[in-house]
Structure formats: structure tokens, C-alpha cells
């Protein structure tokens, strides 16, 4: 699937926009930003690694925005709601037109809540968008679309 990731950072006037492709399997997400830089992030149950411009994969910690990567993105994109409930309180908003739905994830653990305020997920037959609101006010919007064949 293709994605557009837009980050709104406090103190930065214009949003930062990245584009790429994601490959999602039950135990692995390969998140490959292709524009404006080549950055490959691989998320598995054992952790998160990142490679920049074809360099060696480096293990990432769980600070800032990476907290979402290590505690939810794999579960979210693979559709494992039970696993997401370990890390988040999940509330569902009323269904919209055509069967669309929205979930709000609120961190359970105080340590995660210091990094993330909430995650809103919207979709219909699949996840269409994810918005991550960090505790410092920064915001990331991810729009997902099927890959063209």
C-alpha cells in the first residue's frame, strides 16, 4: 500500500511531507519512505530498525514518535485489536456514511501518555488514515491507499 505521511511540528512553519510504500504482514511492517529521502523502517515484535539512504539498519529506541512504532503500529496495521488493547484504551465513534468507522486510542501507561496524547484511526473496509497526536502538540497524519498494480 502507498502512504503519505504529513508531520506538523511545533516551531516549524510548513508541514513535513513524506511519501512511500508499506508492506504489511502478520509479524512485520516494512515502512519505506521514498520521498524526500530513502528511509526504510522495519517493525517486528522484537523491535524497530531503520536504514537511511541504503545504510545499515540501526535499532531504534522508543522515544517520541517511535513510541507509537513500538507499541501499536504493527498491531494496528495487522488488525490485532486484542494486542492494541494491552497498550491503549480503545473507543469507537459512531459509524459514518457507507459503513466508515473511527477508533480513538488513548495510552494506558503513564510513560506512553507522556509521549502520545491519542491516535485516531479511520477506515471503512480497511484502515484509510491514522492521526497521531503527541503530548508536545506535534501531529502526524498518515493517509493509506492501495498500491497500483
pLDDT digit string (tens) for 126-140? 889 999 999 999 999
Quickly state the pLDDT bin for 26 (edges 50, 70, 90): confident
Q: What is the pLDDT of residue 97?
A: 77
User: What is the SS3 assignment for 35-90?
Assistant: ECCCEEEEEECCEEEEEECCCCCEECCCCCCHHHHHHHHHHHHCCCHHHHHHHEEE
Statement: residue 27 has pLDDT above 50: yes
Q: What is the pLDDT of residue 33?
A: 97
pLDDT digit string (tens) for 43-65? 888 888 999 999 999 988 654 44
Give me the CATH number covering residue 30: 2.50.20.10
Domain that holds residue 24: 2-145
Total domain count, the chain: 1
pTM, two decimal places: 0.83
Amino acid at each position: 500500500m502507498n502512504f503519505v505521511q504529513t508531520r506538523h511540528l511545533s516551531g516549524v512553519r510548513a508541514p513535513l511531507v513524506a511519501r512511500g510504500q508499506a508492506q504489511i504482514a502478520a509479524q512485520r511492517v516494512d515502512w519505506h519512505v521514498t520521498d524526500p529521502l530513502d528511509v526504510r523502517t522495519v517493525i517486528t515484535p522484537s523491535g524497530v530498525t531503520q536504514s537511511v539512504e541504503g545504510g545499515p539498519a540501526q535499532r531504534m529506541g522508543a522515544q517520541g514518535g517511535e513510541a507509537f512504532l513500538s507499541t501499536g503500529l504493527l498491531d494496528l496495521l495487522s488488525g490485532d485489536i486484542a494486542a492494541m488493547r494491552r497498550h491503549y484504551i480503545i473507543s469507537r465513534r459512531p459509524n459514518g456514511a457507507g459503513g466508515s468507522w473511527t477508533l480513538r486510542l488513548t495510552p494506558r501507561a503513564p510513560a506512553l501518555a507522556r509521549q502520545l496524547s491519542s491516535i485516531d484511526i479511520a477506515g471503512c473496509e480497511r484502515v484509510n488514515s491514522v492521526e497521531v497526536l503527541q503530548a508536545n502538540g506535534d501531529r502526524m497524519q498518515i493517509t493509506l491507499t492501495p498500491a497500483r498494480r
